[in-house]
Chains A and B, each alone.
Chain A
């Protein structure tokens, strides 16, 4: 018995330009401090930023074996990630022991008490390739995609997850949730987290109290790279529509799962590989085949459009696309008319 998931009146959306991400994790901390400081969510990051190529967060997230969808979009049994080997435990440290040894001849270094197996962005800046010929990496910030066909909604036997009618934000009703974790298992993006103390699922709420007041989510608003755009998908004057529909340079992550993500990425361009003599070859360092494994075939025309517009700008010609992506006026990255405004008396 599949659920009938009604189409929302509007869909709020985010575009992230991967050419500009610094990997600074300001977004991660902005989100974590705002929403996820409870003991049972210590390990979880509604917003995470991972180095790719790499194993991601949780480890193996880009491996089709972990998600509850086949690459043809069918249902398959997914995996609930392990706290040690996939997420990484929120480690505790031997601060007292280290401090007590400060004056002693044998100093004890600060180290985690637990055996470290994995953690968020654990393979930071490792990437792939050989320096200086073709070494490469880029950062992939990830949050819940507030999917059009959410696997998490489909997976919950208690109908505790729903898509909001007003803006398509996908929310867990924690009063209904019994902590069965089918949603964690089914989401191929692994963006539902289990609060192991309160024993309920938790996930990104797209900062809905801010959205209702016309303020962008904390991850987007605090991003020093100015690479996040937020608005509604049907707003033809807004950045989302221009980047996704008009210029078609913003594309979803793992479209093969068929969930219809509403978070989109401008794929990373990369400098050329060098030949044996150290001369540029014209071939991008980040293999396009690798980008295709993440973003599907749409990455080819998206990269072509980006390169063509960049060349146009270099020739001194006007480019709406480049002006938009450069984000001269950062406030223009967000087009979110307030739906209601709370006035505190």
Chain B
């Protein structure tokens, strides 16, 4: 499977707290319009490839206060009803992997709603990321992923650091993407 996915701007009105929904109310068009995704069975697990256009990558953030790194995430529902838009809900988690350009490895992520994401070191994973000719290409080599194996669906998110994107300021798939 290698698909082009049109992305949407994650709705800021849903973001927790009183600040982000108002301060970023103008963020209605996605900063990253589309991404390509390939999800393939790998050796004892999965290989996920994400690629998207990014004119000016941000890879370094250390020793700066106002710089945000490029990032992407892919996640799957733990239950058939787990909502994608809110990153899951209580008792209906989503789980997956987060890559950030200023870090060497991947984070394993799990969330039960906006603002609840837990990050932990993703053991048994590998990642390679290349930026070339205005595009990021990130290849995630993942171990067994029971949620994906069971639900056969993923969602994805892309953050462009140069546009101050982080947290709920992101471009996301407009729903679950079926994995064959």
Contacts and interface: CB of A to CB of B under 8 A. Distances in A.
A156 B23 CA distance: 12
A156 B115 CA distance: 9
Contacts of B124: none
Interface string A74-109: 111110111100010100000000000000000000
Q: Which bracket fits the contact residues of A?
A: 35 or more
A157 B167 contact: yes
Interface string B121-164: 00000000000000000000000000000000000000000001
Interface centre among A1, A78, A151, A157, by most chain B C-beta atoms within 10 angstroms, is: A157
B115 A155 contact: no
A341 interface: no
Interface residues of B, number: 26
B15 A87 contact: no
B19 A182 contact: yes
Contact of B20 (A43, A82, A182): A182
Contacts of A77: 23-24
Interface in A188-209: 193-194, 196-197, 199
Is chain A's binding surface mostly helix, strand, loop or mixed?
Answer: loop
Contact of B115 (A78, A80, A158, A197): A158
A78 B20 contact: no
Given A77-B24, A157-B114, A157-B115, A196 B19 contact: no
A159 B23 contact: no
A200 to B, nearest CB: 12
A123 B14 CA distance: 43
Interface string A174-186: 0000101110111
A68 B15 contact: no
Given A77-B23, A157-B115, A3 B17 contact: yes
A83 B66 contact: yes
Given A156-B17, A158-B115, A180-B166, A83 B64 contact: yes
Interface string B65-95: 1100000000000000000000000000000
B167 A182 contact: yes
For the complex of A and B, 5 pairs with smallest distance between CB atoms: A155-B19, A2-B18, A77-B23, A75-B22, A80-B66
Interface of B: 14-24, 61-66, 114-117, 119, 164, 166-168
11 contacts: A1-B18, A74-B22, A75-B22, A78-B23, A82-B65, A151-B19, A156-B16, A157-B17, A157-B167, A159-B16, A178-B167
